[in-house]
Amino acid sequence: MADVKNPKVLATPVNIIVGSHVWVEDPDEAWIDGQVTKITGKDAQIQTTNGKTVTEKLSKIYPKDLEAPPGGVDDMTKLSYLHEPGVLQNLKARYELNEIYTYTGNILIAINPFQRLPHIYDSHMMQQYKGAPFGELSPHVFAVADVAYRAMINELKSNSILVSGESGAGKTETTKMLMRYLAFLGGRVATEGRTVEQQVLESNPVLEAFGNAKTVRNNNSSRFGKFVEIQFDKHGRISGAAIRTYLLERSRVCQVSDPERNYHCFYLLCAAPAEEVEKYKLGKPQSYHYLNQSHCYELVGVSDAHDYLATRRAMDIVGISEKEQEAIFRVVAAILHLGNIVFAKGKEVDSSVPKDDQAKFHLNTTAELLMCDVKALEDALCKRVMVTPEEVIKRSLDPQSATVSRDGLAKTLYSRLFDWLVDKINNSIGQDPNSNFLIGVLDIYGFESFKANSFEQFCINFTNEKLQQHFNQHVFKMEQEEYTKEKINWSYIEFVDNQDVLDLIEKKPGGIVALLDEACMFPKSTHETFANKLYQTFKNHKRFIKPKLSRTDFTIAHYAGDVLYQSDQFLDKNKDYVVPEHQDLLGVSKCPFVAGLFPPLPEETSKSSKFSSIGSRFKLQLQQLMETLNSTEPHYIRCVKPNNQLKPAIFENQNIMQQLRCGGVLEAIRISMAGYPTRKPFFEFINRFGLLCSEALEGNYDEKAACQKILEKAGLEGFQVGLTKIFLRAGQMAELDARRAEVLSSAAKTIQRRIRTHISRRRFLAVRKASVDIQSICRGVLACKLYQNMRRQAAALKIQKHIKRHQARVAYQKLHISALVLQTGLRAMAARREFRSMNLNKNATLLQAWWLCRRAVVYYKKLTRSCIVTQTRRRGRVARRELRKLKMAARETGALKEAKDKLEKNVEELTWRLQLEKRLRTDLEEAKAQEVMKLQNTMQEMQKIIEETNALLAKERETAKKAIEEAPPVIQEKEVLVEDTKKVESLTEEVESLKASLETEKLRADEAEGKYKELQESSEEKRKKLEETEKKVQQLADSMRGLEEKLANIESENKVLRQQAVSIAPNKFLSGRSRSILQRGSESGHLEARAAIPDLHSPSLNLREPAEVEEKPQKSLNEKQQENQELLIRCIAQHLGFAGNRPIAACIIYKCLLQWRSFEVERTSVFDRIIQTIGNAIETQDNNDILAYWLSNASTLLLLLQRTLKASGAAGMTPQRRRSSSATLFGRMTQFPWSATSGVDSLRQVEAKYPALLFKQQLTAYVEKIYGMIRDNLKKEISPLLGLCIQAPRTSRASLVKGASRSVANTAGQQALIAHWQGIVKSLGNFLNTLKANYVPPFLVRKVFTQIFSFINVQLFNSLLLRRDCCSFSNGEYVKAGLAELEHWCYKATDEYAGSAWDELKHIRQAIGFLVIHQKPKKTLDEISHDLCPVLSIQQLYRISTMYWDDKYGTHSVSPDVIANMRVLMTEDSNNAVSNSFLLDDDSSIPFSVDDISKSMEQIDIADIEPPPLIRENIGFSFLLPRSD
């Protein structure tokens, strides 16, 4: 074996060239990626991604895999480059996607997410991992537990799971999940209703209070190792549990380093309630020597008083009585007081006594708390008894020795108290001494390296070195198993071990522990002498280093790094004497609890003091732990704390790397590096490196041979070719990648050359075309210029012609105008002469006209004056006549005013009535009609009054006119005439005002009438609404009456069942299963009564005992009827077939029961025998044809019973509650017309007694049972095919990637895939044919296939989300093709039988649709969640997006922004939702009720059913023969 001092993974020479992407060490980020820009000798210059330029040696840089999946790999052994930066980057990439689990071989690395992820721990997830092969599904703690459990069951050997990691890494939560899953697999044995997991977890607060303490890095660090044993019986069921503790840090009781604390229990007791503190005479922690060695007394954010009460409650839960609790804390208080006993020199030589009164007080208090004698306690501390052959010598101890004796007593007392607590907890949990196997879960402190490291860190790191050796051996064993499995040669592989470190520490007689014990045995030894002894002994040991600046410190090169130890307190902390005086003192304590901690020792061990050291005891316990682990098959889980802030989404690289070193993960990688760190399956290797030897891939080739040719052509040596994988040495992957890069570079250059040639030719053609175009243009320009000149010449000729023509025309026009002017002048002169003559004639005519007009005006004025005088006299006579008329009309004015007032009142009353009508808004039509009639009468009266008034006025006017005409003219008194005229005018004005008022009133009346019409319209609308409301109320009333009828029926039926149940002892003929069936029917709404139902398969289903039959021979059926029943049972036991689409057996049974009036009798056995016959027929659950036959018969018979039976009325029912409608269990259906005949004239409803009602319940249960059996049979048949359909064959996928060169293999792969899907389609088709052949109701067929397709959806979708290799582009194409086969089957099956089955595949359809779409990075979250995948939850979308990989085109998944938005939404949902599971749950419930069956099935005519030959000739069954008209 080769030893390596460097704790990091060994660097290996790889091909690093300029341009290579590499990893380089960084002080802040641990490792950072960059690109090599320059290589000088053995140094390389690297441009990092953060913009810096660094120079590093080639041996310290590592290649980066550019083809690594962006989401990382689930098993780091799949990494192309297995080194520190590759591991760190892979863990970081997965952690950013909330993938907290990662494998390294069979080692699980768990990174604490510091947030709730309930969806990965629910029962659905446990069901998925149950029995799944390791590595097939995503990494998970359940997978490790499942492997351990399966190994225990299959190999009959105990297993252990080692959970390690520093505090805060999630060890406790991981242990909890392991126990949960083991309880899920192995059932449970619970105590008082508590599971084993709960019992173990309930003990944690007690163990933490007495076994945990604050250290430099953690406030609640376990200072002991805990091994939880889950015990199993021979059947693999949990039978018990136990907690084994190892390696308690005893020295902490007496020595504490600053700023650490002692065990929590001391501080909890000091913070207890005042009466407790006073009872134990305690004070503040600062006043006790065992606590004040450190200045840390309180923890930030932790209340010791609250934790004290919580610890007391936890003690109550685990079964520690109040008396025992008091004794426990009395011992804890005694240890504190014991530490304050200080010694001084006594009177005698080398003697010691309590130093002062304070020391004596603590001595007395200690004795009081331990209930022992004070003097005996002082002697036990200050004196020793030496037994010699001659005599017993009693000698005194000096103060220093007495102090050592005091501390030894304190450590022994605390250690035994802790052991007692562990035993008590184990007794509470319940161990199984006869357990065959166990699975142990080890939770122990991790590697520690502080600034100041003392004896405690030495022991802890010694433990971790031991565990690391065990871990290394396991890893190497796994490597060997992998090599053996693949049948490769591994005999020359060197294994790096840490045995030299273990020899340095524990070897006898020259190990550090042995030298420490030797130094402790000599009183004069000091830490200086001990250190010098170490320097002399190990000066040449490569693992032991002597610091240059210290004379007492030493350094050990552990597997996780160098640790500097300070030896100052090594001797004091290691001393642990077994003192007989202490045993004798506390063994006779008056406190039974204290005395029980110190049972009597064997005689030979009690004679004298015997030296014992902490180191030796620690070494012994560690050896026992290793023996336990070596006797089991180990499994490893390494828990990692991603940051010290304990917050989610923070990944500290340096912190992670340190934990990976301390956890041994990098050590495991180093072991892998020593062998074959790179392992690639053949098809992956060919996909990546096939281009290095393309001739090996021609035609049909063997993958193994092709890989061999590729490696041979590359010139590699030392590789191994296994059965399914290629094994490469460290560095060979980089060399292959370099060769591949060269080939790709050459190909790229060839492509570039071709493209450049193409571009140059295309540019030349473009230039040539451009020159031709330029020439054409130039020639065109010249032609244009020539054409322009010719046009100009032609234009000049035309211009000259037109100018000459214009000049001639102008000359002609001038001559013409001159002639016209001359003619105009002559004609004007003649016109002026004529005008003057006409003007003279006009003036003479005007003068004549004015004169004639003046003469006529004078004559007119004279005539006018004469007319006025005549008119004045006439008007006087008319005025006097009018005066008399007005005087007569004045008498009628009062009546007119009264009419007006009455009209106003009527209008006001009308307005008031309208307002009242608005306020009330009543629906009473009669009141409205009365009001309308009143208003109409009022309007008619008002109209009559107005008409009478108008008639009266007209009459008066006529009378006045006659009077004026008859009156003599009186014109002597003109003043009277004037006064009468004024009165007439005033009266006229008054009349006009009255008319205006009348018009106003008319307008008001019209407005009132309009408002009335509007009110009438609104009333009409309200009336319509009222009618609709009344209709709804009527419907509700009808529904209520229907419900009352159904309630009455159910109560009637329940009454019958209760009365019958009271009269018959149920325990004689009912089983628990029957009661549960009836209870299930009651919960589903079929029956409210809690009556019991007989067992479906019980042979004794009769409602009476055989003895009762003998004692009571007088029954409802005579012997002939019993013979008929026997014949009926024998008949239906045969396959009677179908008449049309009607099952003969169901129709025959129904006709017989109805004819024999079996539904109406109180006691009968025919129902039980029918049920027993059906039960016997379906015992063969795998015969779908028989199941379908009886499902058809049972459902048909159930429908007939439902339409016939009603519950008989009970004695105490009121008449109002008795209805004539259906009153059976199935009375909730709508009424059907009864037209069928069954040996009677018409099908009638009968009142069913208790046996009939019980028969319907049993028949209902059998319909549901047969349906479930048929559904489950089909599920079992297609389940194996579904496992093959979710993932495309590898050959098909690989050939698809390589293209047409493997078309034959591609075709074979597609045929293999289609064969799986066609197998499912064939199963579905055969199943459908079976159901159709037995005339199963289409409703039930639709329900079966709907649930089957839902099952397919759940299985495919869950497998897709749990297996990353299924979330690829090509696999999506294959599954899409398979789903098309199912869609085609649904189309052929038609909606009558397939129904909505295709819609049940919505989850897998949308998931596959997402996998096969292109340009995923361009899709937004809104498009994905609303358009592409509206059914999928955000957790499911996130899972698919992060697991997706494109093995065909190399494209990426959705953009990082979309991933970030999904993570934000998931965080918000996790705060609101109880569970965020991304898995689907299979629904195995019964998806229908009997009402659904009855509503979906058509009416059955059973009148023409021919009886079978067995009973056709029997006279007792003559009623079955069809009647002829």
Helix (H) or strand (E) holding 246: strand 238-246
Say how far apart CA 26 and CA 60 lie, in whole Å. Answer: 11
Give residue for tokens 């609303």: 1426
Q: 448, 479, 703, 1277: which is the annotated catalytic residue? A: 448
Choose the catalytic residue: 20, 160, 204, 221: 221
| 166 labeled binding residue | yes
Cα 913 → chain centroid? 67
Asked if 56 and 42 touch (Cβ cutoff 8 Å), the reply is no
Question: Interhelix angle for 399-429 vs 322-339, to 10°?
Answer: 160
CB 1447 within 8 A of CB 69: no
Contact 225, 443 (CB under 8 A): yes
> Which residues, 6 or more positions from 1295, have their beta carbon under 8 angstroms from its beta carbon?
1302, 1303, 1305, 1306, 1309
Does 303 appear as a known binding residue?
Answer: no
Q: Report the distance separating Cα 450 and Cα 447, nearest Å.
A: 10
Phi-psi region of 575 (alpha: psi -120 to 50; beta: other; left: phi over 0): beta
How many angstroms separate the CA atoms of 110 and 99, rounded? 9
Tell me whether residue 169 is annotated as binding.
Answer: yes
Kind and range of the H or E run holding 1432: none
d(CA 166, CA 661): 12
SS3 1445: strand
Report residue 1463 CA to chain centroid gap.
13
Query: Is 165 known as a binding-site position?
Result: yes
What is the distance between the alpha carbons of residues 242 and 964, in angstroms, rounded to a whole number?
Answer: 140
Active site residue 218: yes
Q: Which residue in the list 218, 529, 687, 1330 is annotated as catalytic?
A: 218
Known catalytic membership, residue 172? yes
Two structure tokens written together for 1493: 């069956």
The C-alpha atoms of residue 68 and residue 80 are separated, in whole angstroms, by 8
Half-sphere exposure of 1105 (CA within 13 A, CB side): 9
CA distance 23 to 58: 11
Q: Is 311 annotated as a binding residue?
A: no
Residue given tokens 């530490």 in the structure block: 339
Token pair 């006045």: residue: 960
928 is in an annotated binding site: no
Other CB atoms closer than 10 Å to residue 293's CB: what's the count?
A: 16
Residues 6+ positions from 443 with CB-CB distance below 8 Å: 163, 171, 172, 175, 222, 225, 226, 227, 228
Burial of 889 (0-12, 13-18, 19+ CB in 10 A): middle
Q: What does the CA dihedral 517, 523, 527, 530 come to, rounded to 10 degrees?
A: -50
Which residue, among 119, 72, 102, 91, has the nearest Cα to 1467 in the 3D structure?
A: 119
Q: 666-702: string of b/e by CB count within 10 Å (b at 16+)?
A: bbbbbbbbbbbbbbbbbbbbbbbbbebbeebbeeebe
Planar angle of CA 1484, 1487, 1488, nearest 5 degrees: 150
510 is in an annotated binding site: no
Distance of alpha carbon 1105 from alpha carbon 1061, whole angstroms: 15
Give the span between the Cα atoms of 1520 and 1502, in whole angstroms. 10
771, two tokens = 């020159």
* Residue 484 annotated as part of some ligand binding site: no
> Of the listed 80, 167, 195, 1368, which one is catalytic?
167
Active site residue 167: yes
Q: How many residues does the chain have?
A: 1525
Q: Please enumerate in sequence order all residues whose Cβ is within 8 A of that of 30, keeping only pairs 6 or more positions apart, or say none.
A: 84, 85, 88, 653, 654, 656, 657
> In the annotation, is 1052 catalytic?
no
Please confirm, yes or no, whether 1018 is among the known catalytic residues: no
Centre a 10 Å sphere on the Cβ of residue 1258 and count the other Cβ atoms it contains: 25
Numbered residues of the known binding site for ATP: 165-172
Name the binding residues: 165-172
- Would you name the residues annotated as active-site residues? 167-168, 172, 218, 221-222, 446, 448
